[in-house]
Chain A
Amino acid sequence: MIQKIMPSVVEALRDIADGSTILISGFGGAGLPIFLLDALHDQGAKGLTLVSNNAGNSGIGISKLIGAGRVKKMVCSFPRQPESGAFDDLYRVGKIELELVPQGTLAERIRAGGAGIGGFYTPTGFGTELAKGKDVREIDGVNHIFEKAIKADYALIKADKGDRWGNLTYHGTGRNFGPIMATAALCTIAQVNQVVELGTLDPENIVTPGIFVERIVKVGTSS
């Protein structure tokens, strides 16, 4: 029997080791798995590389982990946010590494990682400082740069409903990075608002098929 439902966030995150690379869904607060991030803070893993669109704000979520000195490197497109203080402070004194990635390139690198593709050529970023050191290739008269796929040890994502096979649906634009991050990690852990009986989710509307998800944990509605 397949049973991906975990009894608690603590159980769901127990084996995350120091030095792990972790994908974290969310665009600002929408789709951010805040309960998993709080549990990761309490769990204690350090030396982490986090891949997420933003670098957290207001001392919660990713910002809380950064403030606690647990993050070695951020891979993101837009670290600057209102009250992104924890990241800003450490970045200015060189205590946290930043790999800045154009948003679409970030999404596509993760998608490629999940699809077993080593990388891809894209025109985005050509001729800019973000192209430094990257292989350049002219394709059909347009300059492209090579971008490597991103794969991770874990993905922490937020979904709306989930079942014991790991099938997921999302809510609103909270979907954002969840479906692609789920594909690109060795172990994907989803916090869901609701756990439903197998067969309840309409197969036509399942966004993330359960094969991409290892663990599901029900949490309260986030505020």
Chain B
Amino acid sequence: MIDLSKIKKRSTADIAKRIVQDIPDGACVNLGIGQPMTISNYLPEDREILLHSENGLLGMGPLATGDEIDEELVNAGKQPVTMLPGASICHHADSFVMIRGGHLDICVLGAFQVSVRGDIANWRTGDPMAIPAVGGAMDLALGAKKLFVMMEHLTKSGQSKLVQECSYPLTALAAVDCIYTDLATIEVTPSGLRAVDWVDELSFEDLLEISGVPLMNARQ
């Protein structure tokens, strides 16, 4: 087995910057709560990218500070935010019309597991003491034209989060288009997972072994 402690992994910032490469000018994007939200720090100024917040804001700006803070103007994580010139506010049903009606170009979510067919599990682990909470995850996973997943490649105990079948409760079936991890970028294709790029110190064979699921090699 590869000693992963010796491998230089992609940091959260590295993964965010990698994802930004795949967000085109003019895209309307929803960034999930947690790690995906950090992507907003790396959006290039030469591309107009509209951020959507599912509580009813399109054209969201950076987090509000000081006098900008208005407790009635928040993002999906309930943090006060600003609006860009051209921003619009809508009610919740219209906001989810944007999501469920296929109007958003890209959504980026975190995940516990992604299967080889692009099934995603990201809302609960099945812990009976945990309070179940789904929020907009199921709507976003299916509604956006493209679903990107941003996650660690392995769990804390070293299990691959790429799986044949999700063992955690599902969020959506066959929804994921591309997975960005601290080790690799992996596309979900009709014929299975396809590794697009991965960290320098790993060979494709290493990645295959670590991932524990069949992968195609886009570099061949």
Contacts and interface: CB of A to CB of B under 8 A. Distances in A.
A173 B89 contact: yes
Interface string A94-137: 00001011111101101100000000001111111110000000
Interface in A1-36: 27-31
Contacts of A110: 93
A77 interface: yes
A87 B99 contact: no
Contacts of B129: 92
Given A28-B78, A130-B134, A124 B143 contact: yes
B170 A80 contact: no
Binding site secondary structure of chain A = mixed
Given A87-B131, A98-B132, A124 B100 contact: yes
A178 interface: yes
Interface in A159-208: 170-180, 207
B100 A122 contact: yes
A79 interface: yes
A102 B136 contact: yes
Range of interface residues on chain B?
A: 35 or more
Interface string B161-176: 0000000011111000
Given A102-B136, A175-B89, 5 more contacts: A124-B143, A124-B172, A127-B172, A175-B56, A177-B92
17 contacts: A27-B56, A78-B134, A80-B132, A98-B132, A104-B136, A104-B138, A108-B93, A124-B139, A127-B170, A127-B173, A128-B169, A128-B170, A128-B171, A172-B73, A173-B53, A174-B73, A176-B91
Interface of A: 27-31, 53, 77-80, 84, 87-88, 91-92, 98, 100-105, 107-108, 110-111, 122-130, 170-180, 207
Interface of B: 53-57, 70-74, 78, 89-93, 95-96, 99-100, 129-139, 142-143, 169-173
